């Protein structure tokens, strides 16, 4: 087992068209207790499903640009040449940060040809450092007057709006001239007037209701899937992917149903339906739902709860149902007959599945104290969590590629 005892989470950074341009990385480096954490991670970070040699940073970022926040003291002490080229590094500055530490950090970043992100609020008071920044970070939690002042003093530097947690935040950041956006706005359901569920999404909701009936009607389910060319095509792509390792190609929906057990069938039909429902949503919403499904399942295994893996997968997948269907979670879960355990986990974070939910949500946000509390409740080994996260990211991107739009002939 690798000896890394720290954690890294990622948050997508979007452009104005909601395409992911980078990932911001958040890590608990200060709890590592060692200045060589980057060297250790580079040496020991290949624990994806492909085995040794998997580049941890490629998996973590999907080979996109990365923005890494690090304390200025950390930046002065780590070997930045171990990072991939072209990354953006963001020195965290507080009242304890000395000018010497900041200058040393900035010199180290430039020496290794990395880009610099600096907080616009800090630069508003230290304008002489503005020229050292490639991107200015604009925290949308600031008061409107403060935001306006920061924008006026930015010069021609591009803006990265962070903590963009609502659609209103996103529109405000656009108005202020931001080019990049980080936050949880993309997982918020669009509720209220003017956000009626379109017909195609209603049909997919009916499919979810059918596949989760306590007594599965295979004939009706086969008819529903086979009548939708895209659904049938995507299901067969999943089944014939390396993830399942089938020896003989599965060529029909009926064959696929025979190949999968009942629990797996419910999970994979759900995944295909949710992917199809996201045609007017950011791709990252589908990616995140897959990461959660896999991470729920992976952490269940880490905690010695192998018997819960399939149910955990579904709970993770469904944790974003409200964002996919633009309805409140309680309302959706009244429509879909999932188990009481899944409902309790998603609505109240109670029970074993609720502990997995709490762990995953805390991990995504980089709330490391809460992650530790959830690990303790589950009796899981913290040393296995980062490898589980890497495997989840790796497999989620592989699965997402299978949902890519392609011309499909009717495979059923």
Measure the CA–CA gap between 197 and 189, rounded to whole angstroms. Answer: 11
- 0.95 surpassed by pTM: no
Closest of 301, 277, 290, 411 to residue 356, by C-alpha: 301
The answer to whether 354 touches 316, Cβ cutoff 8 Å, is no
Measure the CA–CA gap between 39 and 78, rounded to whole angstroms. Answer: 8
The larger pLDDT score, comparing residue 69 to residue 84, is at 69
Closest of 161, 255, 270 to residue 208, by C-alpha: 270
Rounded alpha-carbon distances, angstroms, from residue 12 to 170, 187, 288, 404: 14, 11, 10, 19
Mean pLDDT of 253-280: 88
Residue 180, pLDDT above cutoff 50: yes
Residues 127-162: tens digit of each pLDDT: 667 777 889 999 999 888 888 888 887 778 899 999
Mean pLDDT of 186-209: 82
Domains present along the chain, CATH in parentheses? 8-187 (3.20.20.450), 199-402 (1.10.3210.10)
Residues 41-68: tens digit of each pLDDT: 666 555 444 444 457 788 888 888 899 8
The answer to whether 30 touches 74, Cβ cutoff 8 Å, is yes
Q: Exposure string (b/e) for 89-124, b if CB count within 10 Å is 16 or more?
A: bbbbbeeebeeebbebbbebbeeeebbbbbbbbbbb
- Distance from CA of residue 38 to its chain's centroid? 22
Residues 319-341: tens digit of each pLDDT: 999 999 999 999 999 999 999 99
91: helix, strand or coil: strand
The pLDDT assigned to 105 comes to 79
Name all contacts of 42-48 with Cβ < 8 Å and 24+ positions apart: 42/82, 44/2, 44/3, 44/4, 45/2, 45/4, 45/390, 47/2, 47/386, 47/387, 47/390, 47/391, 48/390, 48/391, 48/394
Q: How many CA atoms lie within 13 A of 353 on its CB side?
A: 25
Q: How many CA atoms lie within 13 A of 235 on its CB side?
A: 33
Closest of 300, 344, 298, 281 to residue 318, by C-alpha: 344
25-29, 38-42, 187-191: least confident range: 38-42
């Amino acid at each position: 087992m690798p000896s890394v005892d720290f954690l890294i989470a990622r948050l997508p950074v979007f452009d104005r068209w909601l395409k992911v341009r980078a990932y911001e990385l958040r890590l608990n480096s200060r709890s590592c207790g060692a200045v060589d954490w980057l060297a250790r991670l580079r040496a020991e970070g290949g624990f994806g499903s492909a085995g040794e040699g998997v580049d941890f940073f490629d998996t973590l970022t999907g080979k996109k640009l990365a923005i890494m926040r690090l304390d200025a003291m950390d930046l002065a002490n780590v070997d930045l040449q171990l990072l991939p080229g072209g990354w953006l590094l963001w020195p965290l500055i507080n009242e304890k940060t000395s000018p010497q530490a900041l200058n040393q950090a900035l010199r180290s970043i430039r020496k290794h040809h990395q880009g610099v992100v600096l907080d616009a609020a800090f630069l508003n008071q230290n304008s002489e450092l503005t020229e050292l920044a490639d991107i200015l970070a604009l925290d949308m939690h600031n008061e409107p007057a403060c935001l306006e002042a920061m924008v006026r003093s930015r010069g021609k530097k591009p803006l990265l709006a962070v903590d963009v947690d609502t659609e209103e935040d996103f529109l405000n950041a656009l108005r202020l001239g931001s080019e990049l956006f980080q936050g949880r706005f993309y997982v918020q359901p669009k509720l209220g007037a003017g956000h009626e569920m379109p017909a195609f999404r209603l049909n997919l909701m009916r499919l979810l209701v059918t596949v989760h009936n306590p007594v599965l009607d295979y004939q009706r389910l086969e008819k529903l899937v086979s009548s939708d060319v895209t659904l049938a095509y995507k299901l067969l792509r999943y089944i014939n992917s390396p993830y399942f390792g089938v020896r003989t190609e599965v060529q029909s929906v009926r064959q696929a149903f025979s190949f999968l057990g009942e629990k797996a069938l419910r999970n994979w039909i759900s995944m295909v339906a949710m992917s199809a429902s996201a045609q007017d949503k950011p791709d990252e919403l589908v990616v995140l739902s897959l990461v959660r499904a896999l991470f729920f399942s992976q952490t269940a295994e880490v905690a010695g709860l192998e018997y819960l893996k399939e149910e955990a997968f579904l709970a993770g997948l469904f944790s974003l149902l409200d964002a996919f269907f633009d309805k409140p979670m309680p309302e959706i879960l009244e429509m879909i007959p999932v188990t009481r355990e899944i409902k309790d986990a998603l609505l109240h974070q109670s029970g074993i599945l609720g502990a997995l939910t709490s762990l995953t949500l805390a991990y995504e946000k980089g709330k490391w104290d809460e992650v530790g509390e959830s690990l303790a409740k589950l009796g899981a080994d913290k040393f296995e969590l980062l490898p589980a996260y890497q495997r989840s990211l790796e497999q989620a991107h592989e699965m997402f590629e299978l949902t890519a739009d392609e011309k499909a002939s009717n495979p059923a």
